[in-house]
Amino acid sequence: MIIGVLSLQGDVIEHINHIKKTGYIGVEVKTKQDIDAIDALILPGGESTAIGRLLRITELEDYLKQKIINGLPVWGTCAGMILLAKNIDGEDKVHLGIMNIKVKRNAYGTQLDSFIIQRTIENISKNPIDMIFIRAPYIEEFSETVTPLIYVDGNLVAAKENNILVTSFHPELTDNTTFLNYFINEIC
């Protein structure tokens, strides 16, 4: 299986290296041809406004949207979650706008309010894993087609809907591939 990482802006290389740890092939995705050559896609963390703008400039937005609607497995981390959301709190414009969630950007405050916690996650990890939040969003609302996966302090920070997985945090910045394996085994 070949896992692509959308490579317009954000923590692309961290995801590619993380994929290598599982033994799968991780490739950069910048064109429609790249999208056609992958089995699954990761939308990295970064700045959703910048990635969204680049998606439009490169004319990838509609193509990618259609691929995901047609079933391409996709995992959005942090900014990637925002790109996939159908609603963004306080903003009129959305990006891919596919997943039935409403997200709040920078929900924990500024860069200085970034944090790491350790949690054992029911049905996903038996041992505590590091969860890294960097100017992270969380999910404020979701429709009944969405399965909530992880709450931290009452806020929803991971969820799935059909072929789409989203996390507010960054497993790719740790050595622990539990969450990537979850994506591969449960979504792909």
Task: Please tell me which residue in 140, 172, 186, 188 is annotated as part of the active site.
Answer: 172
Report whether 119 belongs to an annotated binding site. Answer: no
Q: Provide φ and ψ at 70, rounded to 5°.
A: -80, 0
Task: Please tell me which residue in 14, 15, 61, 78 is annotated as part of the active site.
Answer: 78
Interaction between residue 48 and ligand GLN (CB under 6 A) = yes
Report whether 135 belongs to an annotated binding site. Answer: yes
Report whether 121 belongs to an annotated binding site. Answer: no
Report whether 23 belongs to an annotated binding site. Answer: no
Q: Are 180 and 171 in contact (CB under 8 A)?
A: yes
Dist CA 105 CA 176 (whole Å): 25
Interaction between residue 5 and ligand GLN (CB under 6 A) = no
Q: Are 98 and 65 in contact (CB under 8 A)?
A: yes
Residue 53 or 67 with smaller CB distance to ligand GLN:
53
Residue 92 or 122 with smaller CB distance to ligand GLN:
92
Interaction between residue 91 and ligand GLN (CB under 6 A) = no
Q: Count CA atoms within 13 Å of residue 87 on its CB side.
A: 10
Among 46, 73, 76, 171, binds ligand GLN (CB under 6 A): 46
Dist CA 74 CA 4 (whole Å): 9
Chain centroid offset of residue 102 CA:
14
Residue 36 or 157 with smaller CB distance to ligand GLN:
157
The single-letter DSSP state of residue 133 is E
Among 18, 95, 104, 105, binds ligand GLN (CB under 6 A): 105
Q: Are 173 and 44 in contact (CB under 8 A)?
A: no
Q: Is position 170 annotated as part of the catalytic site?
A: yes
Q: Could you list the residues that contact ligand GLN (CB under 6 A)?
A: 45-48, 78-79, 82, 105-106, 134-135
